[in-house]
Structure 1
């Protein structure tokens, strides 16, 4: 452009930086910003906010915080988006929540009103650390300040209570969500289904699946994984295997945990043929079993005097790559833990 006597505007530069961020190339965004400054193209507040995002994406949160401090020196007023960017970054950092809460207070002192993005980010950060009481207090503050909790807010709380094993409160959050006139989405249903399946309440979980389908939502990989976990909790590996096959037929890829809990359940039930079938599928999908799973599986085979059944694993793709020959002998117990 400069070679033809044309100079970029801040708006065109912002488009480029925004595109780099969408492509998850924050380093390009920052490099372009430096070139932009070298060419004396003055940034605006949107440019600075995007550069803050880029720095946070690269883990340079301290640099982003410095940029926030310097904004008035550049002639810009800090915006809610400026603070939200930094709040999100500190929420991802371990032990960053105290800084987050201070940023929110500073934001309010500067006359800026926290919006639903601010509150939802803080609720997520608190829930991630298991600080549910504080998270609920922030939600109450939202209401007082006239910011309505949305589906994301409730999904965060529901998922966190399920993770903590408090499914009763998770269900109460769901009821509160419905009373507020909000519709449950697939994330909501999957969290509730997982909570029930973790307790082996597969019948109630199946009712939620029916409710999910009635709402014209389609089960995804997380739905199937939760249902498989539920059947494994009930020591019903055959039904879990049916669900695994249905999951693959629907085009979803089981993850490591789904395979491992199914292999573990077959092994506990001394159905080693079933465990081998699942392990073969796992290997063919290039998913490597860890030492704990291999030890459990081969320990069961050894005690049942069925170690010969594992011979078929050597002929499977990735079988010799992911399972050392020593596992086919009793010497595997002497493998040093890494």
Structure 2
């Protein structure tokens, strides 16, 4: 290991040095050696965060834990993000008890604010369906001075309860917000409204809507449309069309603050004349869009909501109305449309959206949009076509492929047994210092071995080991078998022994 040590070492210098190391264990060795080479040097919070992040990303949990303990002993000031990284690493490895233990021991560190780690723990417990643990953490930490932003935490709990069809408990949390010194935001109303409607608690949902009129929607925000729509469609689905139509009139007047001339011109009663429920719901959606004050936020919110529900035709109508009123769709709207089309397997139409619609709308495709499209193409077994988009991205100004882009392509090419192409993409990926996970390496090396490409297989095996990653036994077996089948037994042993 050769390191060009500076004459005077700072934590920033050390962070740069250890980031440049491919092998996390080498980075850790340099990290520990720094204190002995420079007696006056002391690690600070950012350099600890860098080292913990490197070890966490490479799943070196034992070593990560040792560095965390060292950080506590040094008592240097550290940010909440350090614990978020470690907690996610523990949870990803299925070590929830260690994640909880670390969170509960944060007060022993020199960390002033633990809001993000608190919310991260809540989210993880919710995802793992451990609501009792989430409730205990909530009760123990919610009112502490370390947690400063409480509304997000309460929204997380409400969402978890609603997903478990316990919207009655979520409603109790909502009603407690005022007493906790935090006030519900638009997300709070959206979460609870959806939960109440899914559970058929339409009476409570209607009263929740009325509370929006004087708290959230005093100025008639277009983004509120999706919340109103949730209740109106639920009423229609439960055979209460007349109530939905009556409520629509109040929404237009009080919630969306529609001009009187607009309300007079719009006859909401026509909605009740449609016999089929879906037709009524379509008319209600049109009334919400045309009856409210035209705004980019309102159109975008409605379109994204419809695309997320897979109602592509209805969402497209919103975009047409949007353009008619002089508004241009924003990137998030196109993202939602491309994602909806890819979920339906309509990747050719999704390509047209990216290549034509976005260009005509003066909206430059982002890396996120491309990744959604690439994932859709790969899921349809069109990885060769996806590769063409990688080339397009390299020529587009302001759009650089990220790690997710390469991972999507390499994994898809391996699934389609296109191991040579996968090796080429991985080579581009490694030039940018993006390193795949162990499973990707294992799959590629096995595939190259089976395809008779022993040289590339050994090359990636050596690269994998240089990064401190451990190949599966099946990788060694497949590589050894492929080399031996070619008659190069001695050479095989030499290369494997050298690795």
What's the TM-score, normalizing by structure 2? 0.41
Q: Shift in Å at residue 135 of structure 1?
A: 1.6
Q: Shift in Å at residue 164 of structure 1?
A: 2.4
The corresponding residue for 1:159 is: 159
1:76–1:227: structure 2 CA closer, same or farther, 3 Å change rule?
same
Higher deviation after alignment, 168-177 or 150-159: 150-159
Q: Secondary structure at the match of 2:210?
A: helix
Q: Shift in Å at residue 153 of structure 1?
A: 2.7
Q: Is the 8 A contact 2:18 2:51 kept in 1?
A: no
Q: Is the 8 A contact 1:120 1:153 kept in 2?
A: yes
What's the TM-score, normalizing by structure 1? 0.57
Q: Shift in Å at residue 165 of structure 1?
A: 2.6
Q: Secondary structure at the match of 1:213?
A: coil
What does 1:20-39 align with in structure 2 at a 5 Å threshold? Answer: 30-31=19-20
2:69, 2:283 → 1: CA distance? 60
What does 1:150-299 align with in structure 2 at a 5 Å threshold? Answer: 150-199=150-199, 201=202, 203-210=206-213, 211-214=215-218, 218=221, 220=223, 223-233=224-234, 234=236, 235=277, 236-243=281-288, 250=298, 252=300, 258-259=306-307, 261=309, 263=311, 277=317, 286-289=338-341
The corresponding residue for 2:131 is: 132
- Structure 1 unaligned spans of 5+: 1-5, 18-27, 265-272, 295-312, 323-338
1:240–1:125: structure 2 CA closer, same or farther, 3 Å change rule?
same
1:274, 1:104 → 2: CA distance? 45
Q: Shift in Å at residue 31 of structure 1?
A: 2.7
| Cα deviations by residue, 1:5-54 (Å, 9 ceiling, x for unpaired) | x967636659x87xxxxxxxxxx9823996x9699774523133321464
Aligned-residue Cα RMSD (Å) equals 5.2
2:297, 2:111 → 1: CA distance? 48
Give the aligned length. Answer: 274
1:274, 1:252 → 2: CA distance? 13
1:243, 1:128 → 2: CA distance? 34
Q: Is the 8 A contact 1:165 1:195 kept in 2?
A: yes
What does 1:50-65 align with in structure 2 at a 5 Å threshold? Answer: 50-52=49-51, 54-55=53-54, 58=57, 60=59, 62=61, 64-65=64-65
1:143–1:53: structure 2 CA closer, same or farther, 3 Å change rule?
same
- Structure 2 unaligned spans of 5+: 1-5, 237-276, 322-332, 357-372, 374-499
1:79–1:251: structure 2 CA closer, same or farther, 3 Å change rule?
same
1:125–1:280: structure 2 CA closer, same or farther, 3 Å change rule?
same
